[in-house]
Structure 1
Amino acid sequence: MTQIKTAENQFQFDIEGISTETHLQLYESLLMPRRIEEKMLILLRQGKISKWFSGWGQEAISIGVVNALEKDEFILPMHRNLGIFTGRDIPLSRLFAQFQGKKTGFTKGRDRSFHFGSIEHHIVGMISHLGPQMAIADGIGLAHKLSNEKKVCLVFSGDGASSEGDFHEGLNVAAVWKLPVIFVVEHNGYGLSTPSEEQFAFKNFTDKGPGYGIESYRIDGNNVAEVYSMIKKLAEDIRENPRPILVEAMTFRMRGHEEASGTKYVPKDLMESWAVKDPVLNYEKFLLDRSILSEPILKELNAKIKKLINEGLDKAFSESSITADSQEELSDLYAPFSQIPILPKSDKSRELRFVDAISDALKQSMQKFPNLVLMGQDIGTYGGVFKITDGFVEAFGKERVRNTPLCESAIIGAALGLSIKGYKAMVEMQFADFVSVGFNQIVNNLAKIHYRWGQNADVVVRMPTGAGVAAGPFHSQSNEAWFFHTPGLKIVYPSNPYDAKGLLNAALEDPNPYLYFEHKALYRSLTGEVPDDYYTLPIGQAKLVTEGSEVSIITYGIGVHWAKSTAESLGCKADILDLRTLLPWDKDAVEKTVRKTGKVIFLQEDCLTGGIGGEICAWIAEHCFQYLDAPVMREGSLDTPVPFAPTLEKNFLPVERFSDKLKNLLEY
């Protein structure tokens, strides 16, 4: 056992309300992560594990928290919170298998260390970007409120991670919505090697809470009894009076950010002053002095823990290395879902504008799924900037149709938190351009979470997109290609009212993450016959809009209408294939039309370079070369931002260039 000097009269462990039994429980719980730490550092030196993020010196925070909360209350830890995992009784063999990248680990070898969650244990693990989990906690807290559960959710942040915008957004949304979330900041003095004074200008996080309208408390993070007592007291209060609270736990990181980085950048006297505040040894000394703990019991506990650790390690080490299976890797990308398209119950239909078809789908999905929550800026009483949710508050209430702060990242993250609690969520980007602020949540949380540890993300992000309305570079971008490259997402892009309703219903039905693109220029300019009843259309299935033998035009969205108009003006007989679903896209339909005509051109509104057309044209060249009678061609917008002036915007868009290129292809 490590022996160091302990603090004299430093800690007040004898807190009112903590029984002898609880003291012993806390000590045993505290001892486990320390002994695992000691073992992991040996294994690291032996080359038996590849990396270790140490929580040495900070264990009291995790242990106080995990013992203070109820077993079915969610905790969102970070990489120095080993005690949360051991405190929730996760089998050590599985935990060690996770550290070693074995198949029985929580991520099947797909992620490392503490980058995982377990719904069974009510833990949602971190991603390396640190801050985004604050918003997930908001979503879990919101689910508690919507379900009238008297529960609290607790999320960790380090002092370094607090510099991220997600920290601000997470606190702000929780404050505005009065969510039952405890935000614990482990103030350990360093973000890797950057000290606090180079990270922020304030001294304590308790100064920040009042600015958000949040109560704030500062506690000694090395005092397990104080952490336990404070969190238990706050949680009991929050369950009856839901609201967020910020807790600053003062502590110190006694080892490097990870072991390879070391601690040479830390002043020696600072290390020495914190070494005497060791949370395990000081608590042990207190318990021995009060005769709550005896040397025989201490010896027995250490032997018991050592046995459990060794048994867990033996089981994990005995497991063979993973054999890669590409089919399994691909099948785990999405949550299992076998879509059965739903037909309208009657023949009744009506002429609807594109915008009204979207509204109709949302309304009917809200009726079909009582657990569906809509979130977005101004979507409440105002009805959204495009009036798609006009009247929804009256129909479904403010709890399910939620105006949000200007916090795109937090709202997308909250949608994931709702999904973790069994809700469905739709997030409206006021304009697709604004999704850049929430990009990380989409590509690193929504898209990867099922592949990483089996949690689905039942979230649809609606994206009003496209140019042609003289809205300039920040309200007109076609950014679907940003996400097309991200495995784990599904992307749909309807071109007409009928598809708009059926595809949106299908996306909301599916428990996987969707981006649903809807072209603003079509909202009120395009009408079509739409069934009155609820129905869904098959995801991943393209649609042949017109048939012809001379050329295949592959496109989507407003490109379908440009293609039809251009083909008619040139008098050519074209197969016009509307992809409808961009991810996954319909390879069979593409191959069929290529075989038929032998000449192919791809049309997209997006800029030409790096667009979806480039990928599909490359696939055609690789897989359908023998059917081609001409080079595969493509056309898109200029490789510039979208300009504001109508003449510049018209030049930017590909319509005229597409006409010229189509002529060349026909004449080839």
Structure 2
Amino acid sequence: MLTPTKSAIKYDKKNLDNKTLLQLYKNMLKPRLIEEKMLILLRQGKVSKWFSGIGQEAISVGVTMALQPEEYILPMHRNLGVFTTREIPLSRLFSQWQGKANGFTKGRDRSFHFGTQEFHIVGMISHLGPQLGVADGIALASKLQNKNQVTAVFTGEGGTSEGDFHEALNVAAVWQLPVIFCIENNGYGLSTPTNEQYYCKDLADRGKGYGIESFILDGNNILEVYGKISKLAESVRKRSRPILIEFKTFRMRGHEEASGTKYVPQELIAEWEAKDPINNYRKYLLNLGVLNTTTDEEMHHAIKAEIDKALQTAGAEEAIIADESIELNDVYKSHEYQHIEPQSKQEEIRFIDAISQGLRQSMQRHEDLVIMGQDVAEYGGVFKITEGFVEEFGNHRVRNTPICESAIIEAGMGLSIAGMKAVVEMQFADFVTSGFNPIVNYLAKSHYRWNQNADVVVRMPCGAGVAAGPFHSQTNEAWFTKTPGLKVVYPAFPYDAKGLLATAINDPNPVLYFEHKALYRSIRQEVPTDYFTIPFGKAALLKEGESVTIITYGAGVHWALDTLEKNEDIAADLIDLRTLQPLDTEAIFTSVKKTGRVIILQEDSMFGGIASDLSAMIMETCFEYLDAPVKRVASMETPIPFINQLEDQYLSKGKFEKALREVLAY
């Protein structure tokens, strides 16, 4: 029976000294007292939302103390102990939660949705799963750089149902990455109990399916957590490999405070209250003589005083004043473009050769650049763009991946966090749907949220015209041009393909680099043999005329050129956009004001495509210069068919000449 002096948890201090025993207690007590204060402030309306980790402090504190300060930790909602154990100034945490400028996100995100390179903490996003793959990327960087460091990443039992969890475990196992995956099994995902979330007895068993060592720990026993994680971390530093830990614990309060705990049986709450990690450890230390009531009271008083002082500092801080220019300037990491003119001779090469050559020269230029994708190593990729790369750069930098687009994009983000560069190949642009979330919600938003760049290029072999059918033929650039934080490149010629790829890899922001498959082996051009760059946001004026402005990109450029060649009487400005984000609006407006007529050609289907935005932009900016409505030409509103006669009917290529004549005749 539990008594006021007897602990409900069995502790074994082993060889830990008294100083460490007390530090463990103090580090658990601090987040508990902060949380108790936060619950008061929440009721007072001074904090907007709170995700309580009360009762789970032993996990956050034990893991964090077991790791070295320079080793990355990727925490979740209930891991306040990670932040406090890393000794982040409380005034900054309070500023973060109050949406003040002294926080970590400039008021752009709340609670624990932030990271800090200073303290080697990478915050979560609400989608939960992506941070597991990001941890893989950070761990990969550690392994490639021989740092012998561990990365720890947290998830809840609910998050283990997400595909990202399984992808990240598989990648970590295949690549033997130094990651400790920490599952906080606290009984409920919001209101859904564990028996409705998974069928296996223990989540640790999932490690066996991936060949990963796994352990179950009492998440309320600080000595068990700290001791075991310390031992495992030291082992992983010596022999790189992933570890899966399931911490058995309980969530004592609601998913967030507003949701409450009415759905939880009271006897279950009472059972876990008796296992409180702090109350039990306090009793243990008192019985051991390591702690006395006076010291305990002094510790409480000192922490509360620190909290009150930090709250006063944060409260006195001025509220953020909205400034449109600041917000817009922080969407992308500022980057000084370095223009490099080609110096050597030229040779006629195919579009696909230009990409391969540009990629190879970037690998030579950036020793921290890693290429990842399905079959990109010995096989050279399905289009043979990376053929021979393994022989030159080694398979540590040219990495075959499992079929898991999401985890590999996330790993690219992790490499960027660790200061490296990544090029991720989608075998086909269509397959990016399996990695859509980390692109639009992680890569795109990281710099805006907490000043972390995403130095990742995603290569996107795209486009129809090769009878590849609905799953290998999309040109899906519009999914990304509407997402702030992403850059989108879409070359039409070998020269541009090589120079723009070099620029994309140099740019510290995430870039979607589209490569039209039908152009790979059909388009040839004289291209410099050495390394050079082309600036983003600069369209190419391929032809000049007074009658009409033709705006297009990718394969559409060649369709327009063919049409103009057949119709020599049409004097047109032909603009090849080259990059869709950033967009060369100056070139567009200058031409439209000169010709007074505009036609926009895209391969994508009409509704929601980039032509729609271009048309609206021209109408809003150049309306008084127009002699005819802006004309859009796009492919059919159907999926892309396979057989040639249906694909030809689908494509906008066959509709362009008639539409062009209509604009001229208006």
TM-score range, shorter chain: over 0.9
Partner of 2:285: 287
Q: Structure 2 CA distance, aligned partners of 1:540 and 1:104?
A: 34
Q: Which residue of 2 aligns with 1:472?
A: 469
Does 2:63 align with 1:55?
no
Measured in 1, the distance between the counterparts of 2:313 and 2:3 equals 36
Aligned counterpart for 1:557 among listed residues 519, 544, 554: 554
Aligned to 2:629: 631
Does the Cα contact within 8 Å between 1:351 and 1:530 map onto a contact in 2?
Answer: yes
Tell me, in whole angstroms, the C-alpha distance in 2 between the residues paired with 1:259 and 1:9.
Answer: 29
Per-residue deviation, 1:13: 2.1
Name the structure 1 match of 2:422. 425
Contact kept in structure 2, 1:6 and 1:276, CA below 8 Å: no
CA contact (8 A) 2:7 2:281 kept: no
Q: State how far apart, in whole Å, the 2-side matches of 1:115 and 1:599 are.
A: 48
- Measure the CA separation in 2 of the matches of 1:329 and 1:6: 55
**Distance in 2 between residues matched to 1:667 and 1:71, nearest whole Å:** 70
| Structural mapping, 1:10-21, within 5 Å | 10-21=8-19
Q: 1:483 aligns with which of 477, 480, 488?
A: 480
For residue 528 of structure 1, what is the amino acid of its counterpart?
Q
What residue in structure 2 maps to residue 511 of structure 1? Answer: 508
Deviations for 1:467-489, whole angstroms, at most 9, x for unmatched residues? 00000000001110001110000
SS at match of 2:334: coil
Aligned to 1:411: 408
Shift, 1:321, TM fit: 1.1
Q: Which residue, out of 495, 499, 504, partners 1:502?
A: 499
* Structure 2 residue identity aligned to 1:287: L
- 2:85 aligns with 87
1:260 to 258, 261, 278: 258
CA distance in 1, matches of 2:587, 2:255: 51
Task: Specify the alignment match of 2:392 in structure 1.
Answer: 395
Give the count of matched residue pairs: 664
Aligned to 1:150: 148
Q: Hey, what does 2:638 align to over in structure 1?
A: 640
Q: Deviations over 1:67-95 (max 9, x none)?
A: 11101100000000000000000000000
Partner of 1:606, secondary structure, is: strand
* CA–CA separation in structure 2 for the residues paired with 1:51 and 1:539: 41
- Partner residue in 2 for 1:312: 310
The DSSP-based 3-state class of the residue aligned with 1:554 is strand
Q: Deviations over 1:413-433 (max 9, x none)?
A: 000000111100000000000
Could you tell me how far apart the structure 2 residues matched to 1:290 and 1:257 are? 35
1:581-638 Cα distance to aligned partner (Å, 9 max, x none): 1001011000011011000000000001100000011000000111111101101011
- Which residue does the alignment assign to 2:298? 300
1:103 alignment partner AA: A
Partner of 2:599: 601
Distance in 1 (alpha carbons) for counterparts of 2:7 and 2:22: 20
Correspondence for 1:617: 615
* Distance change >3 Å, CA 47–CA 551, structure 1 → 2: same
8 Å Cα contact 1:447-1:487 kept in structure 2: yes
> Quick check: 1:6–1:282 contact (8 Å CA) kept in 2?
no
Contact 1:159 1:196 survives alignment (8 Å): yes
Q: Secondary structure at the match of 1:553?
A: strand
Give the superposition deviation at 1:268: 1.1
1:261 Cα deviation from its structure 2 partner: 0.2
Q: Secondary structure at the match of 1:208?
A: helix
Are 1:437 and 2:434 an aligned pair?
Answer: yes
Q: Which residue of 2 aligns with 1:24?
A: 22
Q: Superposition pairs for residues 445-460 of structure 1, below 5 Å?
A: 445-460=442-457
Shift of 1:8: 4.6
Deviates more, 1:656-665 or 1:35-44: 656-665
| In 2, Cα distance between equivalents of 1:503 and 1:352 | 16
Aligned to 2:567: 570
- Asked if structure 1 preserves the Cα contact closer than 8 Å seen for 2:470 and 2:639, the reply is yes
Q: TM-score, normalised by structure 2?
A: 0.99
Mapping of residues 98-247 of structure 1, within 5 Å: 98-247=96-245
CA-CA distance at 1:12 after TM superposition = 2.4
Could you tell me how far 1:205 is from its partner in structure 2? 1.3
Q: Distance in 2 between matches of 1:207 and 1:518?
A: 42
**2:514 alignment partner, SS class:** strand
C-alpha separation in 1, matches of 2:262 and 2:6: 27
Is it true that 1:545 corresponds to 2:542 in the alignment?
yes
Once residues 154 and 245 of structure 1 are traced to their aligned partners in structure 2, the CA distance between those partners, rounded to angstroms, is 9
Mapped partners of 1:615, 1:661: distance in 2: 19
Partners in 2 of 1:14 and 1:308 — Cα distance?
31
Structure 1: tracts of 5 or more residues without a match: none
Per-residue CA distance 1:194-248 (angstroms, 9 max, x = gap): 0111111112112111110000000000011110001100000000000000000
d(CA) in 2 for partners of 1:5 and 1:57?
19
Q: Aligned equivalents of 1:138 and 1:289: distance in 2?
A: 42
- CA–CA distance in 2 between the matches of 1:271 and 1:532? 70
- Secondary structure of the residue aligned to 1:515 is strand
For 2:360, the equivalent position in structure 1 comes to 363
Q: Residue 502 of structure 2: SS of its match in structure 1?
A: helix
Structure 1 residue 17 displacement after superposition: 2.0
Aligned AA for 1:99?
W
Measured after TM superposition, the shift of residue 7 of structure 1 is: 9.3
Is the Cα–Cα contact under 8 Å of residues 37 and 56 in structure 1 kept in the other structure? Answer: yes
Q: Secondary structure at the match of 1:107?
A: coil
* Other-structure match for 1:322: 320
Q: Distance in 2 between matches of 1:626 and 1:104?
A: 47
Alpha-carbon shift at residue 14 of structure 1 (Å) = 2.6
Q: Which amino acid aligns with 2:270?
A: E
Cα deviation 1:395-440 (Å, max 9, x = unaligned)? 0000000000001000000000001111000000000000000000
Three-state SS of the structure 1 residue aligned to 2:634 is: strand
- TM-aligned CA distance change 1:428 to 1:167, over 3 Å: same
Q: Is the 8 Å Cα contact of residues 463 and 517 (structure 1) preserved in structure 2?
A: yes
- CA distance in 1 between counterparts of 2:16 and 2:429 reads 53
Counterpart CA distance in 2 for 1:49 and 1:474 is 47
* 2:603 aligned counterpart, secondary structure: strand
Letter in 2 for 1:305: I
Counterpart of 1:555, as a letter, is T
Query: 2:532 maps to what in 1?
Result: 535
How many angstroms does 1:18 deviate by? 1.5
**Are the counterparts in 1 of residues 6 and 284 from structure 2 also a CA contact under 8 Å?**
no
Give the deviation of 1:5 after TM superposition: 7.4
Q: Deviation at 1:15? A: 2.5
Query: CA–CA distance in 1 between the matches of 2:257 and 2:16?
Result: 36
| In 2, Cα distance between equivalents of 1:189 and 1:203 | 13
Deviation, 1:340, is: 2.6
Please report how far the alpha carbon of residue 338 of structure 1 lies from its aligned counterpart in structure 2 after TM superposition.
1.3
Which residue type is aligned with residue 303 of structure 1? H
User: Any unmatched runs of 5+ in structure 2?
Assistant: none
Contact (CA 8 Å) 2:41, 2:47: kept in 1 or not? yes
Pair 1:116–1:7, CA change in 2 (3 A): farther
Match of 1:35 in 2: 33
SS of the residue aligned with 2:442?
helix
- Give yes or no for contact 2:8–2:274 (8 Å, CA) kept in 1: no
